Amino acid sequence: MDSEIKEEIPVHEEFILCCGVETQVLKCGPWTDLINNQSGTRPKLLIFIIPDPNAKEIKDIYGLRGQVEHKLAFLRTQVPKEMKLVVIGHSIGSYFSLEILKHAPELPVIRSILLFPTIERMSESPRGRFATPLLCWLRYALYVPCYLLLKPWPEKIKSLVTRTVLQMMDIPKEFSCLNTLEPFCLVNAAYLGSQEMREVVKRDNETIKEHLPKLIFYYGTADGWCPKEYYDDMKKDFPEGDIRLCEKKIPHAFILSFFQEMANMVADWLKDDLSKM
């Protein structure tokens, strides 16, 4: 009888200083220092994942352009130049992925996967029409109550609230993150969101056309941030591209409850690329 063998992949967390900002890095695999490890066991490929949101000092590090520069600085300073890359972006991370391809053509990216990509017309999307006035015009009014209400809370109270909300949403406890209740994080997230609404407007067709053979797009059927009409437009403009539509009703925020299903799907897409390494 066939038995499935599950290999335990070591995962560890570390914080590095990148662009003058303390940056959280989650690493999967036994390698902790890719730059200084010159042994034969060093991997030939790195899968770089940019989630929905973080050298020289960068102005406006928490803004849209600053976040792109931050990712570029990390890749240029923390990853060996000859190491091949697979870049996976989710939501606004897909925008960052295209910007990496555009501004760093020297990086050996062999594949870029854009999941539920918010790469155009964000303020015109169903969610964007609601979020734009909140993030662009009313966010300043939220800063004061945010600090007054959340800052005094003890860590135990924040932890209890976070766990309660996650349990109500049936989200695994691994995703418990106290940072979501830190005023500093909420303010920066709102600031970045306001720039996304204003600046992510026109799709970068030139970059997409130049790198189309290495791109995979994955759209949802009921996504309030990138509705199906955006998928239809992409298929029309790039009929030869690898542009896929979800048939499993996976939501935009898949990390909350469909993370394993999405991971299995992406791993399957990468089999051909990995077999050539």
Catalytic residues: 91, 223, 252
Q: How far apart are CA 21 and CA 218, in angstroms?
A: 31
Which residue has 């091949």 as its token pair?
84
Which residue has 């940072």 as its token pair?
179
Q: How far apart are CA 102 and CA 60, in angstroms?
A: 20
Q: How far apart are CA 87 and CA 112, in angstroms?
A: 5
C-beta atoms surrounding 195 within 10 Å = 19
CA dihedral (225, 228, 229, 235) positive or negative: positive
Q: How far apart are CA 32 and CA 18, in angstroms?
A: 16
The SS3 assignment for 13 reads strand
Q: Give residue 248's Cα distance to chain centre.
A: 21
Q: How far apart are CA 49 and CA 88, in angstroms?
A: 5
Question: Contact 63/192 with Cβ under 8 angstroms?
Answer: yes
Which residue has 């053509």 as its token pair?
105
Task: Dump strand ranges (E) for 202-275.
Answer: 215-219, 242-245
| Amino acid occupying residue 240 | E
